[in-house]
């Protein structure tokens, strides 16, 4: 008997493996370092703004998210027409291929990288082309250029790369973009941009201004601590931004999330203080691990990467046993968020036992 059949590539969509909640240990705090969340509570004024918006839940949100667009345009000094707001930057990852790819068109990105890339490409009917990272967890930009064909519509640079941590430099990005064909959209996924502390760091806004085929993807989920509310945005010159807006879900970003994002932008000084504290803590963790003998890829986000190979599951079990949940990638390694100092201390203790022989 005939039954309804989804498109062939729907069956191939890999499942999103979300970070696990922490194991509860009796009489002891436990910590979730598995989803790159911000350990701080909401920024000042955010709960109040969100609560006020809750009272109007019988109304649809402002469909155009106009106050949020205005606040972002003001903060970034870009025209409103160059923005696309979405329910987290994962939504942008769906919208871009939906707007630019016909079936069989290709999306090139590094691998291993962000979990959602293959899912979003497949959901939009595009074909993923995964280019292996270099051994030190960096993008192999040369190989990514070589992977571009006349079917390529999008190439994504995840910087800092989730889950391995390193960022590309502006010099590397400029040289890369100069060699990408002009009809290919270059996504610069800057989910962790606020945490970057390096020489020759990417200036995303300058890069978008210089190139009509560049789209920056940013999010309120990581540094801004609004992961639960689902707000992200793209910055791209108008034709790309408009195409992403055209395929967006009507009323996607809810009223409470819009209010919280606007209030978070207004609390930027506090935000930068917290981000700086996390960057300092990342430095402390990295120094301690290096001292133990670990040679980790350079962490530029709010997380570190342990290339444990076959020992990954044992490592994740060992951190679980001390109340710290990490994000294992079976047979490859573990990504661990920089969290509360107590959690980071426990991580360092576990890592001591796993220094490679």
Ligand X SMILES: *Cc1c(COP(=O)(O)O)cnc(C)c1O
- Residues in contact with ligand X by CB under 6 A are 36, 88-90, 114, 158, 162, 189, 191, 219, 221-222, 227, 232
Residue pair 190/204 in contact (Cβ under 8 Å)? The answer is yes
Q: What is the 8-class DSSP label of residue 195?
A: G
Nearer to ligand X, 126 or 350 (CB): 126
C-alpha of 45 from chain center: 25
Nearer to ligand X, 38 or 213 (CB): 38
Q: Tell me how far, at minimum, the Cβ of 89 lies from ligand X, in Å.
A: 4
Nearer to ligand X, 140 or 349 (CB): 140
Nearer to ligand X, 124 or 350 (CB): 124
User: For strand 83-86 and strand 106-111, is the pairing parallel, antiparallel, or unpaired?
Assistant: unpaired
Q: Tell me how far, at minimum, the Cβ of 229 lies from ligand X, in Å.
A: 9
Nearer to ligand X, 180 or 253 (CB): 253
Return the closest-CA partner of residue 153 out of 178, 125, 186: 186
| Collapsed DSSP state (helix, strand, coil) of residue 234 | strand
Return the closest-CA partner of residue 117 out of 141, 132, 97: 97
Note the residue count of the chain. Answer: 357
Q: Tell me how far, at minimum, the Cβ of 55 lies from ligand X, in Å.
A: 25
The DSSP line for 61-96 is P-TT-HHHHHHHHHHHT--GGGEEEESSHHHHHHHH
Q: Tell me how far, at minimum, the Cβ of 161 lies from ligand X, in Å.
A: 8
Residue pair 303/36 in contact (Cβ under 8 Å)? The answer is yes
Residue pair 101/124 in contact (Cβ under 8 Å)? The answer is yes
Determine the residue with CB nearest ligand X: 88
Nearer to ligand X, 36 or 248 (CB): 36
Please give the C-alpha separations between residue 349 and each of 104, 283, 344, 346, in angstroms, as whole numbers: 48, 16, 9, 5
Q: Tell me how far, at minimum, the Cβ of 193 lies from ligand X, in Å.
A: 10
Strand partners, 187: 156, 215
Nearer to ligand X, 221 or 258 (CB): 221
Q: Tell me how far, at minimum, the Cβ of 290 lies from ligand X, in Å.
A: 24
Nearer to ligand X, 89 or 325 (CB): 89
Q: Tell me how far, at minimum, the Cβ of 227 lies from ligand X, in Å.
A: 6
Q: Tell me how far, at minimum, the Cβ of 158 lies from ligand X, in Å.
A: 5
C-alpha of 85 from chain center: 15
What's the rounded Cα separation, in Å, for the pair 88 and 223?
A: 13
Residue pair 263/183 in contact (Cβ under 8 Å)? The answer is no
């Amino acid at each position: 008997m005939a039954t309804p059949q989804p498109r062939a590539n729907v069956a191939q969509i890999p499942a999103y493996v979300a970070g696990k909640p922490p194991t509860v240990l009796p009489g002891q705090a436990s910590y979730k370092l598995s989803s790159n969340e911000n350990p701080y509570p909401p920024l000042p004024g955010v709960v109040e703004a969100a609560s006020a918006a809750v009272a109007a839940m019988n109304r649809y949100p402002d469909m155009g998210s106009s106050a949020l667009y205005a606040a972002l345009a003001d903060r970034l000094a870009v025209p409103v027409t160059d923005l696309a707001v979405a329910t987290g930057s994962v939504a942008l990852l769906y919208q871009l291929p939906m707007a630019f790819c016909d079936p069989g068109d290709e999306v090139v990105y590094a691998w291993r990288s962000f979990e959602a890339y293959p899912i979003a490409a497949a959901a939009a009917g595009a074909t993923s082309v995964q280019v292996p990272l270099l051994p030190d967890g960096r993008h192999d930009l040369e190989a990514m250029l070589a992977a571009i064909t006349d079917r390529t519509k999008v190439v994504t640079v995840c910087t800092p790369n989730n889950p391995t941590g390193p960022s590309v430099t502006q010099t590397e990005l400029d040289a890369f973009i100069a060699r990408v064909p002009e009809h290919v959209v270059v996504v610069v996924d800057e989910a962790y941009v606020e945490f970057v502390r390096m020489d020759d760091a990417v200036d995303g806004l300058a890069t978008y201004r210089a190139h009509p085929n560049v789209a920056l993807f940013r999010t309120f989920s990581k540094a801004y601590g609004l992961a639960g509310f689902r707000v992200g945005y793209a910055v791209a010159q108008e034709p790309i931004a408009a195409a992403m807006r055209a395929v967006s879900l009507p009323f996607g970003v809810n009223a409470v999330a819009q209010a919280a994002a606007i209030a978070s932008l207004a609390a930027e000084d506090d935000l930068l203080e917290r981000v700086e504290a996390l960057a300092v803590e990342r430095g402390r963790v990295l120094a301690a691990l290096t001292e133990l003998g670990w040679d980790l890829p350079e962490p530029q986000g709010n997380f570190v990467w342990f290339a444990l190979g076959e020992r990954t599951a044992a490592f994740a079990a060992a951190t679980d046993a001390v109340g710290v949940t990490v994000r294992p990638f079976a047979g490859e390694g573990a990504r661990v968020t920089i969290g509360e100092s107590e959690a980071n201390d426990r991580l360092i203790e576990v890592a001591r036992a796993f220094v490679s022989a």
